Chain A
Amino acid sequence: MATHALLNNVDHKHLRVITARGARYGDAVMSALTFPAEFRELQAYYPIVFARSADGSAFDALALFGFQDGENLFLDEAGGTARWDAAAIPLSVERQPFLIGRGAEELSIHIDMDHPRVTAASADDGEALFLTYGGTSEYLERIASVLRTLHDGLDAAKAFSAALVELELLESFVLDIELDDGSQNRLGGFYTIHEERLLALSAEQLERLNRAGYLQAIYMAVASLSQFRGLIDRKNRAHARHR
């Protein structure tokens, strides 16, 4: 059970957060939430797909890192030091181990005290959250800005996916993958843009999407599917390494 604490400069004065990448820091995840404003950057590395939200009422946009739970094919753990082999990382990953808390009016920063990135006072690796006398470190300023952008972005994503649903622009898909070793793999349960319906939209519908700033995001999501090729290559290389 995660322990979420409202971040403050007294209880957490000595806390440090490890910013290195690696499975041991919780980076071995198959996908991460994303939002339209970061599609353009992420589509250069990851397939962007949609999935029903946990309560089933809406759709979340996800950047895919692998084909099964716990598989992040962008994590390169070879040679002792792990790295994330892409120049852009979704903000929902970047924000770890912090969370946005909603107070009466203002957003507040919470921290998951049980997260493996959270480390002890004496550690000399990682980033300090607070300055010597309680001021905010540059790292924490950056995190605050990441959380704000993420909060606004995920808010906007709700309206975006609602628009997709309204125009019936999402379709489920199944990806059958045969790896170089002959093994069969199937990726299911995700949705993508229904391109035929997209092409059939009226001028008025397209204009509405464009005015809302959604049209570019839709095409970014379409373009991102070409990253499946790269993801399968990564999977084949990972398999070859493990044989």
Chain B
Amino acid sequence: MPVTDKRVRELQVGGALPDELLRATEPYIVRGLAAGWPLVRAGLQAPEAADAYLRRFYGDATVTAMLGKPEIGGRFFYNDAVDGFNFLSVRARLDGVLDELQVQRGMARPGAIYVGSTTIDTALPGLRAENDIDLDGRDALASIWIGNRTRIPAHYDLPDNLAVVAAGHRRFTLFPPEQLANLYIGPIDFTPAGQAISMVDLAAPDLDRFPRFAEAQRHALVAELGPGDAIFIPAMWWHNVEALDDFNVLVNYWWRQSPGWMDTPTNALMLAILTMRELPPAQRRAWQEIFRHYIFEPDEDSLAHIPANARYALSPLDDDKARILRGQLLKRINR
């Protein structure tokens, strides 16, 4: 059951997605955006048809597959002690995983199988020739996600995201970035799949353990998608993703609005932990103001007193200035 009745807004789009929608800061659904894909049409016939269609593009690539016992109910998570995970990650041939998904489709209590974020052009070269979305020339990373009934806890991704259900059904539960404190996020550097996740089980939220989740729930938006439907998830929005059928395929596109030389701000967070978190409160507050001044509320006027030629790192970066900064940082932190 969804944690809220509030739905992600649906937009009618004729043809390609316009640029302003690809730079949106709120999520939206476009029904039937990929209705014309041969993969979507195959999936509407039967899981076996989508499976057979995918195999036409398969060479011999290996992929990372997450395997969970039936008891986990498809929720890929930590183990009880949070010193490991409740699933196994294995490298396997994709056709072998498709075989196993077929086997599990006949089971009363199937094990959970998930091939997550797999680069399409590597694993299934040629698939995108007839199954692709035009992103107004953006250089996006196109990935495929294949599995049975699975639940991926709420997490954010750094790039903007357009996700297309190619086969099966999916439910996305979204929370705005500022719900961080109400989502009870787990470890940031020990994660099941790279991103920190909410410890709250959205299928059965335990409000005794996680009382602030009730507040997050008030800001939640739900999107239920079928074959060919697409959802735009803005960068940094929390999303919990449930795959609802016994065979589900998702295709997604990730792209950044920032230049290539910009690093993930996660590095800055780690560096801030290393350099600031343990400071005395008064010093930390001073640094908070410094960051507000230079980073979070940058203001051209605040630099007016420095001649343009003398602003160095305070002037807009380009790839060479970024190289200099990176070179300095590499030297400084290597101690």
Residues of A participating in the B interface, judged by any CB pair closer than 8 Å? 8-10, 13, 130, 132-136
A189 to B322 alpha-carbon distance, docked (Å) = 53
Q: What bracket does the count of chain B residues touching chain A fall in?
A: 10 to 19
Q: Would A13 and B330 count as touching, CB distance under 8 A?
A: no
Smallest distance from the beta carbon of A96 to chain B beta carbons, Å?
A: 23
Q: Would B327 and A133 count as touching, CB distance under 8 A?
A: no
A134 to B322 alpha-carbon distance, docked (Å) = 8
Q: Interface 1/0s, chain B 85-120, versus A by CB < 8 A? A: 000000000000000000000000000000000000
Given contacts A134-B327, A135-B326, A10 and B261 within 8 Å (CB-CB)? no
Return 5 A-B CB contacts under 8 Å, by A number. A9-B327, A13-B320, A130-B323, A133-B322, A134-B323
Q: Would A10 and B324 count as touching, CB distance under 8 A?
A: yes
Q: Would A8 and B327 count as touching, CB distance under 8 A?
A: yes
Q: Would B260 and A133 count as touching, CB distance under 8 A?
A: yes
Residues of B within 8 A of A134 (CB): 261, 319, 322-324, 326-327
Q: Would B326 and A133 count as touching, CB distance under 8 A?
A: yes
Q: Would B319 and A136 count as touching, CB distance under 8 A?
A: no
Residues of A within 8 A of B330 (CB): 135-136
Residues of A within 8 A of B320 (CB): 10, 13
The interface centre, meaning the residue of B261, B323, B324, B330 with most chain A CB atoms within 10 A of its CB, is B323
Residues of B within 8 A of A10 (CB): 320, 323-324
Q: Which of B14-61 contact A (CB under 8 A)?
A: none
Q: Which residue from chain B places its CB closest to the CB of A130 in the assembled complex?
A: B323
Q: A9-B326, A134-B324 are in contact. List 18 more A-B contacts (CB 8 A).
A: A9-B323, A9-B324, A9-B327, A10-B320, A10-B324, A13-B323, A130-B323, A132-B260, A133-B260, A133-B263, A133-B319, A133-B322, A133-B323, A134-B261, A134-B319, A134-B327, A135-B330, A136-B330
A133 to B330 alpha-carbon distance, docked (Å) = 12
Residues of A within 8 A of B324 (CB): 8-10, 134
Q: Which residue from chain B places its CB closest to the CB of A132 in the assembled complex?
A: B260
Q: Interface 1/0s, chain B 253-270, versus A by CB < 8 A? A: 000000011010000000
Smallest distance from the beta carbon of A154 to chain B beta carbons, Å?
A: 24
A132 to B319 alpha-carbon distance, docked (Å) = 10
Residues of B within 8 A of A9 (CB): 323-324, 326-327
A133 to B261 alpha-carbon distance, docked (Å) = 6
Q: Which residue from chain A places its CB closest to the CB of B326 in the assembled complex?
A: A134
Smallest distance from the beta carbon of B261 to chain A beta carbons, Å?
A: 5
Q: Which residue from chain A places its CB closest to the CB of B262 in the assembled complex?
A: A133
A135 to B325 alpha-carbon distance, docked (Å) = 10
Q: Which of B244-287 contact A (CB under 8 A)?
A: 260-261, 263
Residues of B within 8 A of A13 (CB): 320, 323
A10 to B323 alpha-carbon distance, docked (Å) = 6
A131 to B156 alpha-carbon distance, docked (Å) = 28
A13 to B261 alpha-carbon distance, docked (Å) = 13
A13 to B323 alpha-carbon distance, docked (Å) = 9
Residues of B within 8 A of A136 (CB): 330
A136 to B329 alpha-carbon distance, docked (Å) = 12
Residues of B within 8 A of A135 (CB): 326, 330
Residues of A within 8 A of B326 (CB): 9, 133-135
Q: Which of B276-335 contact A (CB under 8 A)?
A: 319-320, 322-324, 326-327, 330
Residues of A within 8 A of B323 (CB): 9-10, 13, 130, 133-134
Smallest distance from the beta carbon of B215 to chain A beta carbons, Å?
A: 40
A130 to B327 alpha-carbon distance, docked (Å) = 10
Residues of B within 8 A of A130 (CB): 323
Residues of A within 8 A of B322 (CB): 133-134
